[in-house]
Amino acid sequence: MRRMAIWVAGIALLAVFVPDSIHADQGLKVPGHVPNQGLRWARSAVTFSQVSFGRREASLPDLTTYQDVHAKKMRFFGFLLPLVDQENERLLDLRTRLNGIYEHVRRDREIAHEDKVWLHDLIEEFRISETNVHTEEFWETALQRVDALPDHLVLAQAANESAWGTSRFAREGNNLFGQWCFRQDCGLIPADRPEDATYEVARFETVSQSIGSYMHNLNTGRTYQQLREIRSEARQMGQEPDANAMAGGLMNYSERGEEYITELRSMIRHNAHMIEEARTRLEESASS
């Protein structure tokens, strides 16, 4: 319920973050990417409906007219945080049920029919190739994949990939993470796309679908195994997954490699206090 209240507060607070004087602000440029096979895997979007709960979602606010950089960032974080929380909460709810079933299996108890049906759906959603739930391989893979992502990591990457929500792909396609698709008319064609390329930048109906698709990609994509292992190791040590550490698992997200990771970590570090400030404002609004 607390997360729901924050989501509602996020919509209400959009007006609070509008500065008195605004004009166009230069954001980060969205880099052009050559569609090699590695990036095809790294940036492939998925059709994602799991985040849709029949709830009306506000459109991405117009962030192209801001003069005050702090106000621009606060509005960006204030809008996205409740949506990131929403998907993370869904993932943690799935993880809680998964852990409960795992305890039954470890104690050689029969899995209830409804749990078997639920596991079947989970295996399909998270693309788990080992389907025998009585093997350690299944549980290791499932528990690595069914988990939340640090909000600071998600928000920093959204800011980087969408130029703080001002890119054409964010404004016209609700795509904040530079995700690609490979069917004709599935998205938007980049102006600098090579003539022989066929990829498009995916278009989503809502920002929530973009977030859900991005998280699904990181949680299931074979190129992000290292990221999931970093998160799993933190869980095994009883720690919360760290955004800075997990950024190291995004080497394949961009052809810039280490430079991209360094930039992400810098954005995580420099914007941490603003993300927490945005969260505090949302929580205060929800409780008032």
How long, in residues, is the chain? 288
Sign of CA dihedral 58, 64, 68, 70: positive
Give CA–CA dist 260/253, Å, rounded: 8
Q: Cβ of 50: how many Cβ atoms within 10 Å?
A: 16
pLDDT in tens, the chain (288 residues): 444 444 444 433 333 333 222 222 223 333 333 434 454 556 666 554 454 433 456 789 999 999 999 999 999 999 999 999 999 999 999 999 999 999 999 999 999 999 999 999 999 999 999 999 999 999 999 999 999 999 999 999 999 999 999 999 999 999 999 998 888 888 888 888 888 888 888 999 999 999 999 999 999 999 999 999 999 999 999 999 999 999 999 999 998 999 999 999 999 999 999 999 999 999 998 887
For residue 201, the surrounding DSSP H or E stretch is strand 200-202
User: CA end-to-end span of the chain, whole Å?
Assistant: 15
User: DSSP secondary-structure letter at 188?
Assistant: E
Which residues, 6 or more positions from 240, have their beta carbon under 8 angstroms from its beta carbon? Answer: 150, 234
Sign of CA dihedral 28, 180, 210, 147: negative
Domain ranges for the chain = 2-85+148-287
pTM over 0.85: no
Give CA–CA dist 150/64, Å, rounded: 27
Structure tokens at 213: 């698709």
Tell me what pLDDT residue 105 has: 95
Structure tokens at 144: 């690595």
Cα–Cα distance list, 88 to 95, 171, 212 (Å): 10, 24, 9
Tell me what pLDDT residue 181 has: 87
Amino acid at 198: T
Tell me what pLDDT residue 42 has: 60
Structure tokens at 226: 């290292």
DSSP three-state, residue 22: coil
For residue 57, the surrounding DSSP H or E stretch is none
Sign of CA dihedral 74, 80, 84, 85: positive
Beta bridge partners of 44: 180
Q: Could you tell me if 281 and 15 are in contact, meaning their C-beta atoms sit under 8 angstroms apart?
A: no
Tell me what pLDDT residue 286 has: 87
Give CA–CA dist 1/64, Å, rounded: 33
